[in-house]
Chain A
Amino acid sequence: MSDPDLQWTGPEGRVLPVVTAPASVLSTVGEEVDPTDPAIVQLAADLVSTMRVSPGCVGLAAPQVGVGVQMFSLNVVGHPKTATSHGTFVLCNAKIIEASRWRPGREGCMSVPDLTGDVKRAGRIVVEAVLPGSGEAVTIATDAFEARALQHEIDHCGGKLFLDRVAGAHAIYQRKVYL
Chain B
Amino acid sequence: MHELAITVIGPDRTGIVADVAEALAGVGANLTDSTMTRLRGHFAMTLVCNGPTAEEVEGALAPITTGGLLATVRRVEPESDGKPAGEPYLVSVHGADRLGIVAAVTRVVAAAGGNILDLTTRLTGPLYVLVAEVDLPAGAGEELAERLAVAAAELGVDVTLRRSDSEIL
Please state if A166 and B131 are interface contacts (CB–CB under 8 Å): yes
Please state if A172 and B131 are interface contacts (CB–CB under 8 Å): yes
Please state if B119 and A21 are interface contacts (CB–CB under 8 Å): no
Residues on B with C-beta less than 8 A from A160 are 160
Is B68's beta carbon under 8 Å from chain A? no
B37 and chain A: residue at smallest CB distance: A170
Residues on A with C-beta less than 8 A from B120 are 169-170, 172
Known contacts A21-B127, A170-B118, A174-B124: does B95 contact A164 (CB below 8 Å)?
no
Please state if A21 and B94 are interface contacts (CB–CB under 8 Å): yes
Cα A27 to Cα B128 in complex, Å, equals 14
Please state if A115 and B124 are interface contacts (CB–CB under 8 Å): yes
Please state if B127 and A168 are interface contacts (CB–CB under 8 Å): no
Is A136's beta carbon under 8 Å from chain B? no
Known contacts A21-B94, A168-B164: does B118 contact A163 (CB below 8 Å)?
no
A-B pairs under 8 A by CB, number: 63
CB distance from B16 to the nearest CB of A (A): 18
Residues on B with C-beta less than 8 A from A171 are 131
Is A114's beta carbon under 8 Å from chain B? yes
Is B58's beta carbon under 8 Å from chain A? no
Considering only residues 125-160 of chain B, those with a C-beta below 8 Å from chain A are 125-129, 131-133, 157-158, 160
Cα A171 to Cα B119 in complex, Å, equals 11
Is A78's beta carbon under 8 Å from chain B? no
Cα A114 to Cα B90 in complex, Å, equals 22
Residues on B with C-beta less than 8 A from A22 are 94-96, 126-128, 157
B134 and chain A: residue at smallest CB distance: A169
Residues on B with C-beta less than 8 A from A139 are none
Is B42's beta carbon under 8 Å from chain A? no
Considering only residues 72-123 of chain B, those with a C-beta below 8 Å from chain A are 90, 92, 94-96, 118-120, 122
Residues on B with C-beta less than 8 A from A106 are none
Cα A27 to Cα B159 in complex, Å, equals 10
CB distance from A161 to the nearest CB of B (A): 7
**B interface residues, Cβ below 8 angstroms from A:** 90, 92, 94-96, 118-120, 122, 124-129, 131-133, 157-158, 160, 162, 164
20 contacts between A and B (CB under 8 A): A20-B127, A21-B94, A22-B94, A22-B126, A27-B158, A112-B124, A112-B127, A114-B124, A115-B129, A164-B160, A166-B90, A166-B131, A167-B164, A168-B131, A169-B118, A169-B131, A169-B133, A171-B131, A172-B120, A172-B131
Given pairs A20-B127, A22-B94, A164-B158, 16 additional interface contacts (CB within 8 A): A20-B125, A21-B127, A22-B95, A22-B96, A22-B157, A27-B158, A114-B124, A114-B125, A164-B160, A168-B118, A168-B133, A170-B120, A171-B131, A172-B120, A172-B129, A174-B124
